Amino acid sequence: MSNIYESLQERGFVQQCTNAEDVSKVLSDNPITYYVGFDPTADSLHAGSLVPIMAMAHLQRAGHKPIAIIGGGTTMIGDPTDKTEMRPMISVEQVDKNGARILKQLQRYLDLDNNAGMFLNNAEWLLSLNYIEFLRDIGKHFRVNEMIRAEGYRQRLERELGLSFLEFNYQLLQAYDYLCLFQKYDCVLQLGGDDQWGNILAGVDLVRRIEGERVHGLTFPLLTTAGGAKMGKTAGGAVWLDAEKTSSYQFYQYWINIDDRDVERFLAYFTFLPMDEVRRLGNLEHDAIREAKAVLAYQATTLAHGQDEADKAQETSQAAFGGGGLDLDAMPTTAIPIDQLNTGIPIMDLFHQVGLASSKSEARRLIQQGGAYINEKQFKAIDVIVDANMLDEDALLLRAGKKRYHRVVPE
């Protein structure tokens, strides 16, 4: 087996690491248990979370045992790290609900059946903590002057937003997580985004102070696209892993539409293709690079939604943009009562109603600027009334701009 640490490094997963040699050795000697924390404030993970997920998957394939934890306890505080504002606090019930959905998503990438891997909620051990005991046993190991040197806290201290005592404790709790996982499950490696570096180190220190054992930490680079945007964000919002929030077709399209400059990096992060292949695809130029994007999109979609969905998304995409006509089935569709169509609907209302424009004013703008199409025919007049006569094969195909389609069927 080739060295998994080097492999992670080659694929770009390693940003910082407590000690490269140690970590590399630990990972190649014996199977170990490692963990990553996920934020349960939303009911789905998004494309940005794929970096840790893929790293975990690589490690699991190499024989190590993952623990995914959600911060049910810590979320109730709000993480100040690298945020210009506090994360919202949410209720226990909400965390449980979100956690269940997140688990499902993780299971597409990881085996978390308690044998090969685990899924835990840190509320399990955090909620029952006794304040005095915690201060005495854990708090005494932390130096405030060290803590406030941490970048995340420092920013908050220097800027206008301030930092509540509550948030200031976040680092202790996360360090305590690591300690618990070490004690209970022999977990000796924590991974996380680079913004978590300080918190990870705090945990490493805490385990050393209390248990006298050396555990390890590793961070991933915080991905931004070549255009400078946050990974996994589009104009329409985040690219979610939940198919109900981001359809597999939209998911596929996200990867197709990435910047040329991101292709190689993303193939390394978000597929399991061997690096030779990744580099070959990354070196394609001009038109050919679309082939590489198609591979990326197909692979990433297969991982997130399964092969069937990936096949469908691919077909739809090729049909829509390859010139062969559109795959109507995969398109977002709105049903409109037939008598409403017989009466006729003002074009602005129609575009607004199906969600291609967020307000009627926006629909008006879209139309006036020539971005509105019905059945591939451009409409620039805002006073057009759309009625049943315009149905083409019993449907209307609306298009806003170049890429956003919506189908309307009578019912």
Partner RNA sequence: GGGGGUGUGCUUGAGCGGUCAAAAAGGGCAGACUGUAAAUCUGUUGGCUAUGCCUACGGCGGUUCGAAUCCGUCCGCCCCCA
3-state secondary structure of 119: strand
Q: Between residue 365 and residue 384, which ones bind RNA under the rule CB under 7 A?
A: 365-366, 369-371
- The tokens for 377 are 């025919």
Q: Which is nearer to RNA, 31 or 236 (CB)?
A: 236
Distance CA 99, CA 40 (A): 6
Chosen residue from 137, 362, 388, 395 binding RNA by CB under 7 A: 362
Query: Does 293 help bind RNA (rule: CB under 7 A)?
Result: yes
Chosen residue from 1, 144, 235, 381 binding RNA by CB under 7 A: 235
Beta carbon of residue 224, minimum distance to RNA (angstroms, whole number): 13
Query: Does 404 help bind RNA (rule: CB under 7 A)?
Result: yes
Chosen residue from 31, 63, 162, 355 binding RNA by CB under 7 A: 162
**Helix/strand/coil (H, E, C) string of 144-188?**
HHHHCCCHHHHHHHHCCCCCCHHHHCHHHHHHHHHHHHHHHHCEE
3-state secondary structure of 202: helix
Q: Which is nearer to RNA, 256 or 391 (CB)?
A: 256
Burial of 21 (0-12, 13-18, 19+ CB in 10 A): exposed
Which residue matches tokens 């109603």? 353
Burial of 403 (0-12, 13-18, 19+ CB in 10 A): exposed
Q: Between residue 298 and residue 357, which ones bind RNA under the rule CB under 7 A?
A: 317-318, 320-322, 352
**Helix/strand/coil (H, E, C) string of 316-334?**
HHHHHHCCCCCCHHHCCEE
Query: Does 154 help bind RNA (rule: CB under 7 A)?
Result: no
Query: Are residues 164 and 72 in contact, defined by beta-carbon separation less than 8 angstroms?
Result: no
Beta carbon of residue 292, minimum distance to RNA (angstroms, whole number): 8
Beta carbon of residue 323, minimum distance to RNA (angstroms, whole number): 9
Beta carbon of residue 211, minimum distance to RNA (angstroms, whole number): 36
Q: How many residues bind RNA (CB under 7 A)?
A: 45
Which parts of this chain interact with RNA (CB under 7 A)? 157-163, 227, 229, 235-236, 253, 256-260, 285-287, 289-290, 293, 317-318, 320-322, 352, 358-362, 364-366, 369-371, 400-404
